[in-house]
A and B are shown apart, each in its own frame.
Chain A
Amino acid sequence: MTALRVSTPRWAATRTSFDSLLERVATLRLSVDEDELLRDTHWDLGQDARLREDVRFRTTPWGRWIPAAGYLANDALFAQLHREPRSKPNIEIALTELDRLVKRRCFFCPGDPRFVLEAGAIRLSARELTNQPLVEHEVGDLEKYVTHLPIHSLRAAAASLPAGEWGRRAQEEVVETIGWLRVSTGQRLNRRMFVARIEGHSMDDGRSGLVDGGYAVFELWPPTFDSPINALVRGAFNDPETGSYAVKKFVSDARDKKGRHRLVKLVSLNPDKTRFPDIPLARATDDQVTIVARVVSPLAADQYARRPRPVRRPGRRDLASSESVAEIVENLASHTERFFESLPSDGDVAVAEARSSWCAELVCLEPETGGVHIEVGPLLGLWSFVKQLRVRGAGWETTVLASNLRLRATRIAVAAGSGPWNWQAVGFEDDVDVDFSALAVGPPSVESVTVFRVDVAGVGRQIASTVLSMGQHYRLLVPGAVMASVADKPPAIPVGAGWSIWDIDLSSALAAQELMSLRALGLEVGEADARLEWVLVAPAAWGVSPRGMPFPRFLPDPAPVVAIDGPSTDDNAAATLFLHGPDGNQSLPLPAGRPHLARLIGLVPGRYSVMVLHDRTAIPPERLTFEVIERSPSGPIARWEVNAKGALAVSKPGTVSVLPAQDLAAFGPPAAEASPDLSITAPPGWPVRVSWRELAEDTVSATHADANGDVDTHPILAATHERRVRRSVGDLMLDFGELGAAVLRHERRPTPATIRTRIDELVVGRGGTVKRLASAGAYADLVPIWYDPVCSALGYDLDAAPINVEGEPPAHVAAHRLLHTERHGFAIERHPVRILLLVEDLSVSLSDSVLAWIDEVCACEQLRDVLVSDGLRWAGHRRTSRLAPRVWDLAAVAKDADECMAFLRVASEGV
């Protein structure tokens, strides 16, 4: 025994009455409780003594006392139990060994919650143990089937053959075993027993103990049993969780004379029969179902030996121990599963619960594509009657289709200074039950910079910190007032109303100027965070997770390469790269330094996550999630389609598809929404040149299909509205370049009613002005505001240039050509069809000189018919005729349908 030598300096405080106590404690191995030590000897005698008054005693972290010269051995024993998890050392022996090593007398403090001291032996307490079984690969023969049972996978056990066929062989020679496990069920063990991990939830009824991931003792090939029995069965059935084998409650009726059951059923104890249905077995398959093992009992956590939890150092992660790695990859697996998890449909979720999870957030994309956005959705449980949502900010609003938000995450570009943003259902603004207050997004601060960290998909996500990490990419939203106050202006990009975005990538060393600008904006640059990035090998495609997060899709070959950057490490394996995928888990301890490149070799199709973890907890993990696919997805299809009120044209490269003529004015005026009458699809982003062709072709606009391949018809209809309404013929051409073109033929034949309405509008709107200008003979002023629209209504184009013939026209008359445009085969042609003669007063007969002049003009123009007008009054005239014409007042024509019809017979073209 190591003697405890207590030498006390003369100045140190001691208490003489403690001398004997110290001698007693020095012979012990366990720490002592102050109350127990002093109660009888001091406190009950009225002495107010405390061990802290004597330097020869010291307290343990758990409030008990040992001699100050002793060595508290708890940490050493804790480390030993982690090194040798199977051991259950005797405390006296263990401490004696330690005495020799530390050359001091060692003490153990039983107040340490990490240990349980039982019958002189210590073991780790339950909280220091995982639920993972402590599998031993070598156990003594005396332990087999006495204290230990083999541990198998259920699949392996299910594949075993009946015990009768084993002969003299041991169970573990027949079933591939994982190892041996110490169990303490209180039952006598036998050579047919084994332990297996339960797979699936079908037997979890809250009472059975047969929970997914839990362990149970089974007995292989039970010689006899009574139905019902919980058992491992295999056969010609298909369990949703495990396939052709399952742990189920085997229920059967009594065997008939032929030894067969009429009723056999594999019952799931879980009451959720939708997900875990019972499996009724047909008589024919009854023989094919075999009870491989019966469930003896589930194992509670304290009934089997468990692996200790990895030792955790403050501020450090354990990246090496198998337990810790198992935990890390399990977390990575859950991350992968969550990332790709399908969103429940509306029918699968409790509506109120789904609505309570709605949220929207401010994100920042690159300024080129709009900068500040609100990201919202998917909105599960969105009321089906809501078709459109309105987002409203200060002096700004937009609408979004509800169907888009219901299904996926959507980003809506907003003006940075227009917050806060609130949501309403269009048409249900006053309905208090249709509440979107959960989606309200506050405005960015106008007094400080809003920081967005750019994720792997290029989306800036808002963070609260004002300390930027090296290696990361940020977008800083800077209010105008803050920018104005900064002397060292950063290279920020204005995004309107004084706001600007500074896109700053800290992957390389920061210039002094940039650092000064950051500081001026109230930001600091801290230590680098871990960073992962795909490099060198391009993904075949990018997909979007159900929650709207982009992820790359790689082909297995060439192997993807990930660049790992972040804080430099001084030690090998201070950071580790982990990979989780369908083929299991991999880890790669990284050498000291930075950056590194790693290849992901031998990937099979499936979903993966890769993560870099540093051993310092201050450095958060960084993950990338991706998918491996067998072949590249197909690209865009070289096809366009135009649907004009049911008339369909599809792409024929190199040709022009002509749609049957129709009145394109019927497509209506441009509305806020796309016209249902005209839809155009093309490859995403495809350019479409829109032109209007009559006698010549005019490019109206150049547009592009959107990312879904839809072409916004609103600007096309807006740009052609006037022509579609006013022109009688024309071709609306949609040119898809090398993929061909579509021509929408326009033919509009005005009706008497529409002409009368138009004349009425003109008379009411401009009649007064016409009278005034006509009496003054101001034809030049009247042509654009009066004659041109009236002639247009009557089916003519008015040639604004007056006809010039030799000599001065008599009585201040003026003559213009009236042209009519019509389609001849594929061509559109325009010809003069009449002459419009403008006179000062039509109430009196035309003079002979005027009539003679008209004859001359008609002869020159090779036309016979003339329309004569002094403004509101109009008449028809034929060359060489000297009959008094009938005169119509357009005010009267506009009011009387019969008058109008009579007038049109004389004056119109193509009605």
Chain B
Amino acid sequence: MTSLVLLPREKARDVLIQALGADAAQTAGIADLVREEVTARGSCARAMTIKRVCRFVAPAIALESSTVSDVCDLLEREGDVVLGDAGLLFSTPLRAIDLGEGMFRVASSMSTRRLASFLVGSWNVVGTSRTCLVQNPVEAHAAVGAAGGVVLTPAAWASLDRVPCADERWLDGLDRRLKVQSEAAASLERDEPLGWAGLAVTPAGFRWKVDGRDPSTRLWRAKNRWGHWHYAWTEHDTPHSSPFVSLHPDDGARTAFAIARRLGVSPEATMTKHEQIAMLAISHWLPRAEYRFLAVSATPVATERNTIRWTMPLDRLAHVLEVLHQRIGLVLREESTR
């Protein structure tokens, strides 16, 4: 029987947690809020989505829009949502990456609660990353197919065979594009001036410098008013005063590693070895393909603002590091176990 019932404000948080199946104050909960909003609408403007999510939970908790914005970035890298043209976020189909032994890594804009309704298993959610251990992989394959999704091999998921390495050839390609397809200087700034910061590669890592520009700087980035990044490749000066090639943020990340390689600087990750496992801490924003490769080879255990910590069986470590080194020049610094 239908009825209207007043909901006391102090119960709002309980209702939210119950409906979401997660705590909306945590990354996993915020991620599901964004996923639900994007899935329900199919596509929606990123800035509007962030605003809506904050309003949606306002009776229960106060969410900062910058927090939701960061989670949007993570979800995009995770493959759960796609950032399309004009700042639109799109929902994505279900892709289940078969890691073997009944373990699937899951990418989809569907919320974890909804996924769990038809992909039955033991779910492990760390930040925006989701894995599911199922009893019967055959049934899982069927369930994924019935939901319009696909089951992928880890290699297909990462698509490393089709994605260029971050190397000299990549930079040559950018130069070729700059020669034949360059965009006019300042053409990204018709609506608003952008505060361009140039990439400076230092032994300590990547630094984005706004002031004291180095004439050799070629990769630039700026955050627009909607909170997403523009990346651009130029011959010398900023895209404000020099023709440039717009880069997708993922290509921007790849270019940063390629520049580091050209300069002979190796971006580092740290590792501590335990009995059977290695624990990696990577604070660089990896290009998507390499991130996906790592994500299907290792298990995320914690996310902090800039760093994701992964665990990995020691027997897999050498191969993973070799691939990451070969593709993006990442090297490992081993720290002693305390």
Contacts and interface: CB of A to CB of B under 8 A. Distances in A.
A552 B93 CA distance: 21
A602 B2 contact: yes
B148 A635 contact: yes
B57 interface: yes
A598 B226 CA distance: 33
Interface in B36-82: 36-37, 39-43, 45-48, 55-60, 79, 82
B108 interface: yes
Interface in A532-581: 533-542, 552-553, 558, 561, 563, 577, 579, 581
Interface in A515-546: 533-542
Given A493-B192, A654-B152, A697-B164, A738 B157 contact: yes
Contact of B110 (A507, A587, A597, A635): A635
Given A368-B48, A634-B148, A636-B92, A538 B37 contact: yes
Interface in A710-741: 719, 735, 737-741
B275 interface: no
A636 B148 contact: yes
Given A638-B149, A685-B82, A588 B40 contact: no
B40 A599 contact: no
Interface string A451-466: 0000000100000000
Contacts of B43: 684-685, 707
A579 B2 CA distance: 9
A596 B2 contact: no
Interface stretch (B5-13, B234-242, B257-265): B5-13
A401 interface: no
Nearest to B117: A632
Nearest to B81: A685
Interface stretch (B173-181, B213-221, B318-326): B173-181
Given A368-B87, A588-B6, A702 B39 contact: no
Interface stretch (B15-23, B120-128, B130-138): B15-23
Contact of B59 (A563, A637, A699): A563
B207 interface: no
Contacts of A493: 191-192, 225
Contact of B3 (A586, A596, A719, A735): A586
A801 interface: no
B162 interface: yes
Contact of A635 (B47, B93, B158, B191): B93
A635 B109 contact: yes
B2 A558 contact: no
A344 to B, nearest CB: 27
A387 to B, nearest CB: 26
B169 interface: yes
Interface residues of B, number: 78
Contacts of A140: none
B159 interface: yes
A583 B93 contact: no
Contact of B15 (A599, A637, A737): A599
B164 A685 contact: no
A558 to B, nearest CB: 4
B204 interface: no
A561 B16 CA distance: 10
A116 interface: no
Nearest to A597: B7
Contacts of B192: 493-494
A543 to B, nearest CB: 10
A579 B4 contact: yes
A636 B60 contact: no
A159 interface: no
B46 A368 contact: yes
A547 B179 CA distance: 48
A366 interface: yes
A461 B94 CA distance: 36
Interface in B254-300: 292
Contacts of B88: 369, 685, 707
Nearest to B47: A368
A511 to B, nearest CB: 17
A656 B162 contact: yes
A496 B162 contact: no
A484 interface: no
B99 interface: no
Contact of B176 (A591, A698, A741): A698
A685 B9 CA distance: 38
B163 to A, nearest CB: 8
Interface in A736-774: 737-741
Interface string A599-628: 111111000000000000000000000000
Residue among A540, A601, A655, A685 with most chain B CB within 10 A: A685
B162 A637 contact: no
Contact of B39 (A635, A651, A719): A635
Given A369-B87, A653-B152, A598 B7 contact: yes
Contacts of B94: 635, 638
A370 B2 contact: no
Residue among A590, A638, A686, A702 with most chain B CB within 10 A: A638
Nearest to B174: A699
B33 interface: yes
Given A368-B46, A536-B56, A635 B147 contact: yes
Nearest to B108: A635
B93 A598 contact: no
Contact of A638 (B20, B42, B95, B251): B95
Contacts of B116: none
Contacts of B111: 538
A738 B55 contact: no
B15 A561 contact: yes
Contacts of B89: 685
B310 interface: no
Contacts of A651: 150
Residue among B15, B18, B153, B251 with most chain A CB within 10 A: B15
A637 B95 CA distance: 10
B159 A536 contact: no
Interface string B92-103: 111100000000
Residue among A552, A583, A604, A698 with most chain B CB within 10 A: A698
Given A536-B19, A538-B19, A683-B92, A597 B12 contact: yes
A602 B3 contact: yes
A374 B181 CA distance: 33
A583 B177 CA distance: 62
B156 interface: yes
A687 interface: yes
B76 to A, nearest CB: 10
A12 to B, nearest CB: 58
Given A535-B56, A537-B19, A654-B152, 12 more contacts: A366-B45, A494-B192, A496-B190, A507-B55, A534-B56, A541-B39, A586-B4, A597-B7, A635-B93, A638-B95, A654-B159, A683-B90
6 contacts: A538-B56, A553-B40, A598-B4, A635-B94, A637-B148, A638-B95
Interface of A: 366, 368-370, 458, 493-496, 507, 533-542, 552-553, 558, 561, 563, 577, 579, 581, 583-584, 586-588, 590-591, 595-604, 632, 634-639, 651, 653-656, 683-687, 696-699, 702-705, 707, 719, 735, 737-741
Give me the 8 closest cross-chain CB pairs, A-B, nearest first: A685-B90, A654-B156, A638-B93, A588-B4, A597-B7, A637-B148, A538-B36, A704-B84
